[in-house]
A = this chain, B = another copy of it.
Amino acid sequence: MVGVDYPPEFLANPRNHRTRPSLYVWTDEIAFVIDTTPEFRMQLLREKVRRLDAVLVTHGHTDHIMGMDDCRRFCWERDGGLPVHASPETMAVLRRVFDYAFSGRPIPKGYFVPDPRVVDGPFELGDLRVTPVALPHGRTTCTGYVFKQGGRKRLAYLTDCKTVPEAAMEVVAGTSAVVLDALRPQPHPTHLSTAEAVEVCSRLGAERCFFTHLTHDYDHDVDQAKLPPDITLAYDGLQVRVSEDGVTLSP
């Protein structure tokens, strides 16, 4: 965190150097990102991302959207705008913040051209069936996303939530890989704490859960060792493969 001194052994672990949470998902048919953080451009460069067919947004808080203009690079070769999927509440924030892009006015070549797609129920995204779930996050409702491929629940992304309500639990149950908010050990009014997230995971029956949106309170390797074996503390650059063969991690 800005303005804080850390012990050298903490800084020596690259997994303790965190940018804001975002997920890049790709299948044989589509490549998309969930959330565009302020550091989105740095993340794209780090991961050498060359393809982006869509953006999904969980909610309109600054740490999840402020890098969206850097999608411009992926608008150059498209016919039409880049699909941006968001709930009505979130889309209203995007329209306000990025008004020059969402205004519907003609946009010169080279700039960000979104194609807004309001999420009001399940939708298709390439070879995936996407089901949104509503998650309480203070005064905001965050949208979680559950991805089915070939009829199987492969992935769920549930960030920025104080709880996972029963309606969402039913949709998520049985998903292979679940990415879940677990802000910090201490309780927080709008995020799941570590213990709360562990409890949610125990009820989901996922093959593997990944904790995300982690603060500097986590010392990655120290805190990883305290968690059940089916829970992984996510880190910048973590890649996860979800297939018939199960959930595998690299590097």
A-side interface residues, number (CB < 8 Å): 25
> Which one of A64-72, A121-129, A151-159, A162-170 contacts B?
A64-72
The smallest beta-carbon distance between A78 and chain B, in angstroms, is 13
How distant is the Cα of A3 from the Cα of B96 in the complex, in angstroms?
28
- Determine whether the beta carbon of A41 is less than 8 Å from that of B39: yes
Cα–Cα, bound, A162→B74 (Å): 27
The 4 closest A-B pairs by CB, nearest first: A66-B66, A62-B69, A2-B73, A2-B44
Interface residue A147 (Cβ < 8 Å from any Cβ of B):
no
Copies in the complex: 2
Residue from A1, A44, A66 having most chain B Cβ neighbours under 10 A: A66
- A contact patch SS: helix
- Chain B residue numbers with a CB within 8 Å of A97 are 96-97
- Chain B residue numbers with a CB within 8 Å of A3 are 44, 49-50, 73-74
Q: How far is the CA of A50 from the CA of B63 in the complex (A)?
A: 21
The answer to whether A66 touches B63, judged by C-beta atoms less than 8 angstroms apart, is no
Closest to A45 in B: B2
Contact with A41, one of B38, B41, B73, B74 (Cβ below 8 angstroms): B38
Within residues 9 to 61 of chain A, which ones have a CB less than 8 A from any CB in chain B? 19, 38-42, 44-45, 49-50
Q: A3-B49, A38-B40 are in contact. Are A67 and B66 (CB under 8 A)?
A: yes
A2 and B49: CB pair below 8 A? yes
What chain B residues lie within 8 Å of A120 (beta carbons)?
A: none
- Check if A99 is an interface residue, CB within 8 A of chain B: yes
User: Which residues of chain B are within 8 angstroms of A66 by Cβ–Cβ distance?
Assistant: 38, 62, 66-67, 69
